Amino acid sequence: MLSILNLIRWKNLMMIALMQLLIKYALLEPFGVQTTLNSFGITLLIIATICIAAAGNIINDIYDVETDLVNKPDTVVINKSISEKTAYNLFIILNLVGVGVGFYLSHLVGKAPFFSLFVIISILLYVYASYIKRTLLIGNIVISMLVGLSVIIVGIFELIPVMTPSNQQTQVLFFKVILDYALFAFAINLLREIAKDIEDIDGDYKAGMNTLPIVIGRERAKYVLTVLSFFPLAGIIVYVISDLYKHPIAVGYFLLFIIGPLIYVSIKTFSASTKNEMHNICNMYKLVMLFGMLSLLLYKYVILS
């Protein structure tokens, strides 16, 4: 059982579920925004999302066995704890459950075309693992877009089906907030993906992959990552100065848990010289994303104060 949990990356799946719950119960519900999904509905959306994401993690590990044996031999599950055939069957089952629940949910909210989102995500995750991941930066961008989509999809199912001329302004306002968080998730995940490529350069090179550090070299890739990290950092600083300056608790939170760590990671990236240091940088990006999503809990205090 533990091998299966590690295979589907249960911690990452829990972060997705938490993120979707925060959008509903920390951002939308406290302000009385008109929403579509009840508790059952949001549970179905979470199940569909994490099942498809779990299937994507499995197919990614199936295609990455060769690289993982070099990059992280102690954590390889395929062909050790679980056979490739079992993993592939689990991939199919989770995809069927995820897409099936998505189909039911789309009809439940009266928006049958929304079902196509789950199909597209499922296909993209397979194509990413089997082909796109090996192409320069495209794989990093695609997987980061899918991370952002796991945020946006809550707004799509919650806000669009009940949008009317009378509530359109409010619905669009909150959808834009969700888009901002999706952009944050995209940006931080993109940085983390590049950091992972630098960390895993040895195994990726052996597997014939075409990642940024392989194309331009480890050192140049570190410098590119350092420069790229300043873009989300600058965006967050502008947001804090323009929107949160009257709210010291919110400003303190962003400085301590998001801006500070991002500055620290940027400095560490520039000077990182070992695989372990790059691994720690990847974990820092994951923590920054978590704290970024937890900032949704501040929203009702910021807006209502």
What is the model's pLDDT at position 193?
95
Is residue 292 within 8 Å of residue 184, measured between CB atoms? yes
Rounded Cα distance, 242 and 273, in Å: 37
What is the model's pLDDT at position 73?
76
C-alpha closest to that of 236 among 223, 250, 221: 250
What is the model's pLDDT at position 209?
84
Element (H, E) at 277: helix 275-294
Is residue 111 within 8 Å of residue 186, measured between CB atoms? no
What is the model's pLDDT at position 303?
61
**pTM score:** 0.94
Is residue 81 within 8 Å of residue 90, measured between CB atoms? no
Domain total of the chain: 1
**What is the residue range of 27's domain?**
2-304
Annotate 98-143 with DSSP letters as a single string.
HHHHHHHHHHHTT-GGGHHHHHHHHHHHHHHHHTGGGSTTHHHHHH
What is the model's pLDDT at position 304?
55
Residues 242-258: b if buried by 16+ CB within 10 A, e if exposed: eebeebeebbebbeebb
Q: Is 135 exposed, middle or buried (0-12, 13-18, 19+ CB in 10 A)?
A: middle
Rounded Cα distance, 160 and 180, in Å: 17
Q: Which residues contact 213 (CB under 8 A, 6 or more apart)?
A: 197, 198, 201, 204, 220, 221
What is the model's pLDDT at position 74?
75
Q: What is the pLDDT along the chain (305 residues), one digit of tens a residue?
A: 788 888 899 999 999 999 999 999 999 999 889 999 999 999 999 999 999 999 999 999 898 887 878 877 777 888 888 899 999 999 999 999 999 999 999 999 999 999 999 999 999 999 999 889 888 889 999 999 999 999 999 999 999 999 999 999 999 999 999 999 999 999 999 999 999 999 988 888 887 888 999 999 999 999 999 999 999 999 999 989 988 888 888 899 999 999 999 999 999 998 888 889 999 999 999 999 999 999 999 887 776 55
Token code pair at residue 192: 């983390």
